């Protein structure tokens, strides 16, 4: 570059660290060895499962790994229950949509409330005790109440997730906004940003990684809620499938449902991880 030849660095005497390159490469190789160890752990767990199932030799107590995988594979195409049922994918889709809808609404409400609380002091004093009171409550405690109020339809499921997600998001948003140093916003302002521009591009932007972390935490809670409510009052969804299969002693199907939850959970968390990496360079 022509620029490099024209301008003499002022600090020629200061040795530059060989920048980020070396560190990134080292981290890559460490990542790969971690993946290897992780796979080893999974294999050992599957092996233990297989050995126990062979020793017990009772598919109701514990079907073998292959039997479980075969059931999962078959249920991908065969509806369960056979009459008026859905495939494994169908149930997963129902649960997934319930999660995304309730969690999405909870995130929007939580971030909006949290943002308002972080900027308007009186509002914060009013809402703080309310949030602190609802936070330790397991959302599951609301199941009977919501069924009485809204029946066993989608509304009660949706609200149950919202109730679980919102306080987590409020707390994550407030603390993320509080943690933004005032001087960071001042820096933006003194570089020429208008108050609004600094609010959006500095304060909110700086809080984003913390908010995304809250989103990941809330997602975990949302899964607990939805599976629990589907166990009790539903005619579709992975929770329903697990419960129904359990009642009918179809253990391999129960395990298939559990596997499906963990795959779906990993998938959604993976998407959020991507979002986290996109918002926070330090987490890459």
Partner 1 sequence: MTVTTAPAVQVQGVRRQFAGSRRSGGRVALDGFDLTVAEGEFLCLLGPSGCGKSTLLDLLAGFSEPDGGAVLVGGEPVSGPGPDRGVLFQTPMLFPWLTALDNVLYGPRARGALDDETRERARELLHTVGLGDAVDAYPHELSGGMRHRVAFARVLVNRPRLLLMDEPFGALDAITRVALQRFLLELWQRDRTTIVFVTHDVEEAVLLGDRVCVMSGSPGRTRAVIDVDLPRPRSIDDTETLPFVQLKRRVRQALEKEHA
H-assigned helices in the chain:
2-6, 21-56, 65-75, 88-119, 121-134, 143-150, 154-178, 182-190, 195-198, 205-232, 238-247, 251-279
Min. distance of Cβ 41 from partner 1 in angstroms? 30
Query: Cβ of residue 175: shortest distance to partner 1, in angstroms?
Result: 17
How distant, in Å, are the alpha carbons of 90, 96, 104, 173 from that of 156?
Answer: 21, 16, 16, 25
**Contacting residue, 17, 35, 129, 148, with partner 1 by CB under 8 A:** 17
8-17 burial string, b = 16+ CB within 10 Å, else e?
eeeeeeeeee
Bridge partners, 80 (sequence order): 86
Quick one: which segment of 7-15, 45-53, 170-178, 260-268 binds partner 1 (CB under 8 A)? 7-15
Question: Residue 196, interface with partner 1 (CB under 8 A)?
Answer: no
Three-state secondary-structure class, residue 80: strand
Q: Contact between 191 and partner 1 (CB under 8 A)?
A: yes
The total of other beta-carbon atoms located within 10 Å of residue 25's CB is 10
- Rounded distance between C-alpha atoms, residue 73 and residue 101, angstroms: 27
Question: Using CB under 8 A as the criterion, what x/- string covers residues 198-237 for binding partner 1?
Answer: x--xx--xx-xx----------------------------
Nearer to partner 1, 21 or 247 (CB): 21
* Residue number, 20 or 247, with CB nearest to partner 1: 20
Torsion of CA 120, 121, 122, 126, to 10 degrees: 100
How far, in whole angstroms, is CA 223 from its chain's centroid? 9
Q: How far is CA 18 from CA 15, 22, 26, in A?
A: 9, 7, 13
- Pick one of 194, 235, 248, 262: the residue that binds partner 1 (CB under 8 A): 194
Distance CA 251, CA 62 (A): 7
Closest approach of partner 1 to the CB of residue 64, in Å: 48
Query: Judged by CB under 8 A, which stretch of 18-26, 71-79, 128-136, 261-269 contacts partner 1?
Result: 18-26
d(CA 161, CA 257): 20
Q: Which is nearer to partner 1, 11 or 247 (CB)?
A: 11
Contact between 11 and partner 1 per CB under 8 A = yes
Number of residues that bind partner 1 (CB under 8 A): 41
By CB under 8 A, tell whether 27 contacts partner 1: no
Among residues 37, 84, 183, 247, the one that binds partner 1 under rule CB under 8 A: 183
Q: Which stretch binds partner 1 (CB under 8 A): 50-58, 78-86, 216-224, 274-282?
A: 274-282
Identify the residue among 187, 249, 267, 271 touching partner 1 (CB under 8 A). Answer: 187
Binding residues for partner 1 (CB under 8 A) = 1, 3-4, 6-14, 16-17, 19-20, 23, 181, 183-184, 186-194, 197-198, 201-202, 205-206, 208-209, 279-282
């Amino acid at each position: 570059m022509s620029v490099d030849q024209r301008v003499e660095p002022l600090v020629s005497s200061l040795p530059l660290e060989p920048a980020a390159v070396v560190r990134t490469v080292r981290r890559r190789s460490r990542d790969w060895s971690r993946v290897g160890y992780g796979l080893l752990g999974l294999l050992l767990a599957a092996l233990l499962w297989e050995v126990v199932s062979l020793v017990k030799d009772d598919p109701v107590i514990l079907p073998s790994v292959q039997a479980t995988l075969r059931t999962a594979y078959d249920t991908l195409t065969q509806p369960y229950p056979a009459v008026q049922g859905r495939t494994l994918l169908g149930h997963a889709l129902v649960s997934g949509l319930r999660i995304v809808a309730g969690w999405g609404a909870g995130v929007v409400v939580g971030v909006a409330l949290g943002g308002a609380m972080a900027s308007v002091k009186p509002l914060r004093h009013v809402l703080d005790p309310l949030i602190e009171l609802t936070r330790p409550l397991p959302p599951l405690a609301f199941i009977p109440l919501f069924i009485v109020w809204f029946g066993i339809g989608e509304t009660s499921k949706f609200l149950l997730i919202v109730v679980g997600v919102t306080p987590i998001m409020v707390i994550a948003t407030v603390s993320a906004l509080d943690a933004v140093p005032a001087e960071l916003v001042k820096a933006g302002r003194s570089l020429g940003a208008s108050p609004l521009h600094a609010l959006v591009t500095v304060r909110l932007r700086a809080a984003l990684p913390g908010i995304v972390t809250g989103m990941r935490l809330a997602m975990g809670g949302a899964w607990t809620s939805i599976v629990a409510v589907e166990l009790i009052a539903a005619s579709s969804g992975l929770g329903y499938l697990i419960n129904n299969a359990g009642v009918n002693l179809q253990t391999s199907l129960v395990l298939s449902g559990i596997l499906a939850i963990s795959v779906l959970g990993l998938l959604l968390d993976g998407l959020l991880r991507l979002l986290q990496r996109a918002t926070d360079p330090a987490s890459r």
